[in-house]
Structure 1
């Protein structure tokens, strides 16, 4: 299992952990059926959702996606 580098700098002072913290509440709501959006079922859905909802930086951050996929047991 790949180790996630939470302190990795991504963009202008933003680390992997800061992006995770920023998205965590929304992901929790989606994955616990407390949102209009259906729970994400695949890694690809999680990847697209993260890229669309990250503040400022709209590129794929593998460690962010990996964190949420592990948290919600989403397989490849």
Structure 2
């Protein structure tokens, strides 16, 4: 069963989980659709590292963001 994600959870200076997802979504879509030099991610750890590196302002692990993309692309937790 998929984890319940609180998309409205405040993370940093007014940014919510959903705001970070929105910011990363286009790049993630291109990567997973093989429209980028970056190879598609194969596991949760790869997604986690990429999200932390590419999130604006806040470079810490945000479980809800990673959970969202893992669920969206059917990558096991």
Counterpart CA distance in 1 for 2:28 and 2:3 is: 22
Residue 41 of structure 2 corresponds to 40
Q: How does 1:1-76 map to 2 (within 5 A)?
A: 1-76=2-77
Aligned-CA RMSD value? 0.6
Instruction: Report runs of 4+ in structure 1 exceeding 4 Å deviation.
Output: none
3-state SS of the aligned residue for 2:76?
Answer: coil
Show structure 2 runs of 5+ residues with no match.
none
